[in-house]
Every structure is written in structure tokens, then in C-alpha cells.
Amino acid sequence: MGTFIGDIYCWFEGLFGSSMKDFLWGYDCGSQSFILTNRYEIFGLVAFISTLIIMLIYYYVISSPKSRWWNWLIVGLLVGLGNLLYAVFSCSSWLENGTIQECLLHDSNGNPLIFNADCWGVGITNGIIAFILFFIISMMGKWWSKGAKHVPFL
């Protein structure tokens, strides 16, 4: 499952680069293997749980017959933004507190391999994936909603 989630994130590898990609896969410089925590799995799990909760709140708590596609879109964008910020802050803290190991941070000449901008790349990726997930979960979960089962197509 972790591999499947990671593979989806890696469709957007161009946004964050190969060193960040390997870090998120759990690469360990000492053993030179992928034995550390697969962080794609964590991002994916957080995105799934947050979109599921928001979907349930949207369709079963706050929805009404007046609900329309644009307020669904705003909620979806907020879910995406929340996940974007979560990934950016997680990534920035890993950069700052030394969680990302040296062989991933710098090449043998000391040139940086991971930049702050890569964290935004991870964040944007996470936001996009969370939004897509929100759409999929909405399609699956909306049918039992009393007020908005046709949203976002109305």
C-alpha cells in the first residue's frame, strides 16, 4: 500500500526532486537502503482521513438543498490547502531539525541537493492529491446525503 501511495506522489517528482523523493521513501544513508519511515504513507493517510472527515461534515452535517458546486469547490480547495500546509511545515521541520540525512542534503562537493522550494513542491503535490482524494471520496460518499447528493454537479 505504501508503495502504491508513494508511486502516486512520485508522478509529481519534478516538483521536489530526487533527493527529497528518496528521503520521503525512507532512504537511510548509513545502510544505503530504504529502511526508514515511508513518509508518503503518512501524507497519504493524513490526506485520506482529513478528506473523509471533511466530506462527512460537508455532506452530512452542513449540507442543505442549497449546496452548490462552488461551495463544494471551496471546501475541496480548503482541504487541499490544509494538506499543502501540513506537508510544507512537516518538510521544513525535517530540514531544520536534521531529520534529513547528510547524503540526501549535500553531494560530495557540499552542494545542496534539497532546497526549501522542494518543501513547497511536496506541499503542492500533497494539496493536489488531497483535492483529488476529496473528489473521489465525495463521489463515493455523497449518495446518502439528504441535502447535497448531486453536489458537485449542481
- C-alpha cell at position 12: 509529481
**Per-residue x/- marks for other proteins, 34-63, CB under 8 A?**
xxxx--------------------------
Of residues 104-143, which lie at the interface with other proteins (CB under 8 A)?
104, 106-109, 113
| Minimum separation from the CB atom of position 148 to other proteins (A) | 38
Give the residue among 16, 20, 13 at the shortest CA–CA distance from 94.
Answer: 20
Angle at 20 (CA atoms; ends 107, 110), nearest 5 degrees: 15
| Minimum separation from the CB atom of position 17 to other proteins (A) | 10
Closest to other proteins by CB, 29 vs 52, is 29
Q: Does 29 bind other proteins (CB under 8 A)?
A: yes
Q: Does 27 bind other proteins (CB under 8 A)?
A: yes
Of residues 71-100, which lie at the interface with other proteins (CB under 8 A)?
99
- C-alpha cell at position 40: 508518503
Length of the chain: 154
Question: Which residue stretch of 29-37, 60-68, 73-81, 126-134 sits at the interface with other proteins (rule: CB under 8 A)?
Answer: 29-37
Q: In the complex, which residues of this chain contact other proteins (CB under 8 A)? A: 3, 18-19, 21-22, 25, 27, 29-37, 99, 103-104, 106-109, 113
